Structure 1
Amino acid sequence: MVAMLTLEERLRRCTRAAVHLEMRDGYMRSDPRFVAWQQGVRNDSADSDPERRPWLRLVADLVAQGVEVRRARIVSEPVSDYIRFEHHLTGPTVSAGEQVRWLSRRRASGLALPGNDFWLFDDSSVVFHHFAGDGELAPDDEEFTDDPAVVKLCASAFDSVWSLAVPHADYQLT
């Protein structure tokens, strides 16, 4: 059943594109990497090591298979510490092949956006992510749909954000 797949399994099933829209200013602040970063740990070799950071290997595998992987982040400015942490980790992700852009929340006011972060797979299905108010994953953290109207909404929202957003290499933290 498609609804029970892990994110990695869904991504590995993609043949053309996987896009991710993030709209929160903080996620899972209990993450040990974030805690270490807050304590001044920077440039840890694990940040760019695909063996210690499996996301990098996954992205490289997908891109090598011809899957376009894109992520857009809508962020408040000045940015939160968590967004600074994400920005710090994004360079190795881009080097692995993921395209990442950043959009100031102020520039997103005129966009029609779904209420939750999501992954869109091959323009055919969506997984929404649900978070608690503190940024931790909610108990029912994923919601899968292949409803054509919802897929269309998410594709349109992502494209709108992407067209306004700034590529990672050009985005300056404020």
Structure 2
Amino acid sequence: MIRVFELIKSDLYRYYGKTDKRTFLKSFFLVEGFRFMFFYRIKSTLSKKNPLYWLFYIIVRHYSYKYGFQFFSAKIGKGFYIGHFGNIIINGGTHIGDNVNISPGVVIGQVSRGRLKGVPKIGNNVWIGSNVVIVGNIKVGNNVLIAPGTYVTTDVPDFSLVRGNPCEISSSRGVEGYVCNAWLVEDGNE
């Protein structure tokens, strides 16, 4: 149970750069993405045999419909930041690293056949813009910026800027300046 509180604390830090009680209450009541992740984190750590699991499952399901978030079993790292609520779909088999920003209209999905069969793996310190589609058994590296409206079906190296449909990989600056309040062990956040 301690791990879930560390995850919640890391998510909270991403919004305001603080983790005190006042910031928690402000975020819980005013920030839809944080509220959803609070319940999602708790549900994700409970066993289905635990009666509380079903309570949190219902709460997550409620907020999923209310805000348009659909990711019931994705593995999400520390410091997950949902910029705004509305239509975010993440396949349950997806692995997402630490300090990832996600925007409305994002679909991270599965390909069911062919060379791309599988689900994506998203690295650390990744910024995903609005209306981005990431599909297939691909790896998005660390420190990557995916521009709004991009369709990603190929591996993305570290420190890249990705844009367009089909996607073009350019720049070596990656996510510089886009992932704010990153949760870092070195900074003493943890």
TM-score (structure 1 length as normaliser): 0.27
Q: Which has the higher helix share?
A: 1
Higher relative contact order (CA 8 A, sep 6+): 1
TM-score (structure 2 length as normaliser): 0.25
